[in-house]
Structure 1
């Protein structure tokens, strides 16, 4: 399965990109780095610059139909930049409209809020997003991983880098079940 990993050109939390990416590769999937600009993505370790990663596709040049699922890594700046980009928001919304699974960790649900994709759903995130999720019509819970099968697709969310092992197991399980349908 081709899996889109959507990030802004700067601000993605490196471990929230690399661990789910490696888990996808190990499970035989084809991860693709999608961003709002071509070139490289600058990852961070919290507030410090980390490695850069080459962009495979630009968000305006691809659609949700090109992928079996979407992973939204966190980082504070990453989803804030993405939610301000109309093409990125439309790309995310496309996964919900077409019934494809989505996984988001840490601050990534900010992009889901902007895409109006949390209404009626139960999800988790970094605790500071709790009010934003509730104001957008979602139910926020403090759990390591939350799987919400509401509407045409399944949403997998997790709180923080410490939850990555459980997040990777959950999102891969959901994506594989969705692909088998």
Structure 2
């Protein structure tokens, strides 16, 4: 009985995760974790000329404009020859859920115009973990922003004042 329940829950979860990208044909969307960023690539034949992404967080959905992207660790590039638009999100980007600098969960919407109407497709959440450990100092350069992170294992001594 417990096995049947577990199989039922697994089936329901697999259907639910497919429903989040419902309406997007197979082969049009690619989501990949890389060493220090998450990447979404969407075929331009599906998105049309002006696709828009939104970063979804606990406080709502935020349009990824040029200014927001530069401030928050996102870059969007259109690649006409391969025929896709690409969103890259830093592991430390705004709206990304960070658990102990080891697990990063991303949630995005894709907005496209189809038949003259704006259509929003919620994309399935994706969790990534760095494939290599963080260095004490790292510099990441993207097309529109730069990140610098410094980690120090040195703790400050507690001074004991005797008066």
Pairwise same-fold verdict (TM > 0.5): no
Instruction: Say which structure is richer in helix.
Output: 1
- TM-score, normalised relative to structure 2: 0.25
Instruction: Say which structure is richer in strand.
Output: 2
Larger radius of gyration: 2
